[in-house]
Amino acid sequence: MGTERLGDATATAIIGQKVLPGHEREFETWQETVNAVAAEYTGFLGAEISPPTSLQSDWVVVYRFDSTAHLQVWINSATRQSLLETGRNYFDGPATQQVVTGGTRPREDPLVTVMVTHRVHPNHVDDFLDWQSRMSQEKSTFEGFRGTEIFRPVEGLQDEWTTLYRFDNAEHLNSWLTSARRKEILAEGTKFNDFRMRTIDNSFGSWFAFRDNGREAPPPSETKTAIAVWVGLYPTVVLLALALAPLNMPLWLGLLVGNLFSSFAMSFLTMPYYVNPLLKRWLRPSPEEPAARSNRVGLGIVAVAMLFWVAFFFVVTTQIWTLP
């Protein structure tokens, strides 16, 4: 539940709040009001609410602004403080807050995000970064790891260092959290073991989009997106037409049912398991790869894939099975 305007987000506040049992509905309504007020502030890009899940014990609220300065104005505003006073009847203890800077629009991958915060003495920053680097190298060897990033303290908003890392599902994340190697790395950094950790479930983890090397990737262009949908839509529609043909439904009903099935198929099968893996390097190319080469390779893959499906369906519908 939330609102978002397009554009690059450069400052994000992640707020965790426990809610008194029985007051969840009131809290959610109140938070929607707070988000609507935040939307009136300069630089607002989006706000989102995520209820507790099996992985995420708190309600989590995220605010995204186009700069740290604009986010700070909202976080510290008298308006927000007044709203917090009216919402205290729903709170079960104080809230937690972390701020991270940098980033683009969220992508759609449903990953599990873990947020860890450390207070680091200024004299120990270099040691902390070296220790975090070793930690990241070890995480990257575990199955399902998708990226990590470290954010420095934000003056005027928070004193802690914040680390975000992501896994593709809770099982792979748990394998890392319970691993002997993680315990060894934690033992090496005993002076940094005073930390807080929060897991943000799949339904919300997509707010934090990393490349494999820890940097965020910009979204594909509208032209690339349209071509990618075409690559997936053609085989999906034809296969559904073949599957539904024996039912002999009238045109208006056949299109109604076919469109419904194709929407689900595209969302849950075709795009995530066929198109996105097939065209990943073209849709989100490496910054080091020349654009011309990326486009040649990507369009070549598109051409080969579509020629394959055209040939396949030609044989199926003319030599094996003729539609009624």
Give the CATH number, domain containing residue 6. Answer: 3.30.70.100
Residue ending a domain, among 205, 233, 252, is 205
Which residues fall within 8 angstroms of residue 304, CB to CB, at 6 or more apart?
none
Q: Which amino acid is at 108?
A: E
Distance from the Cα of residue 154 to its chain's centroid: 23
Q: Does pLDDT of 243 surpass 50?
A: yes
Question: Among all chains, which residue has been given the structure tokens 């972390």?
Answer: 98
Q: pLDDT tens digits, residue range 176-191?
A: 888 998 888 888 888 8
* Orientation angle between helical segments 24-38 and 78-87, nearest 10 degrees: 170
Has residue 210 been placed in a domain?
no
How confident is the model over 50-101, as pLDDT tens digits? 888 777 778 888 888 888 888 888 988 899 989 999 898 999 888 888 777 7
Residue among 175, 22, 17, 7 at smallest CA distance from 106? 7
pLDDT at 12: 82
Residue 212 placed within a domain? no
155, 237: one domain: no
Is residue 201 domain-shared with residue 313, that is, in the same domain? no
189/232 same-domain check:
no
Q: What is the pLDDT of residues 160-174, one digit of tens each?
A: 888 888 887 778 888
Q: Do residues 192 and 230 both lie within one domain?
A: no
In this structure, is residue 62 part of a structural domain?
Answer: yes
pLDDT for 238 equals: 92
- How far is Cα 149 from Cα 135, in angstroms, rounded to an integer? 12
Nearby residues of 115 by Cβ (< 8 Å), 6 or more positions away: 14, 98, 162, 163, 164, 197, 198, 199, 200
Asked if residue 141 and residue 79 are part of one domain, the reply reads yes
Residue 18: which domain range?
2-205
Report how far residue 276's alpha carbon sits from residue 272's, in angstroms, rounded to the nearest whole number.
5
Q: For residues 83 and 27, is the Cβ–Cβ distance under 8 A?
A: no
> 193 and 240, same structural domain?
no
Q: List, for residues 42-51, the tens digit of each pLDDT value.
A: 888 888 888 8
Rounded average pLDDT over 27-38 = 90
SS3 5: coil
Same domain, 127 and 262: no
Provide φ and ψ at 194, rounded to 5°: -90, 85
Which is more confidently placed, 139 or 309? 309
Contact residues for 223 (Cβ-Cβ < 8 A; gap 6+): none
pLDDT of residue 20: 92
Same domain, 188 and 282: no
Q: Is residue 216 part of a domain?
A: no
Identify the domain boundary among 147, 170, 205: 205
pLDDT in tens, 106-131: 444 456 778 888 888 888 888 888 88
pLDDT at 230 over 90: yes
Number of structural domains (the chain) is 2
∠ CA 2-32-268, nearest 5°, is 25
Q: Are residues 184 and 228 in the same domain?
A: no
Domain co-membership, 74 together with 140: yes
Q: Are residues 106 and 162 in the same domain?
A: yes
Same domain, 13 and 125: yes
Tell me the whole-structure pTM to 2 decimals: 0.48
* Helix or strand run (H / E) with residue 28: helix 24-38
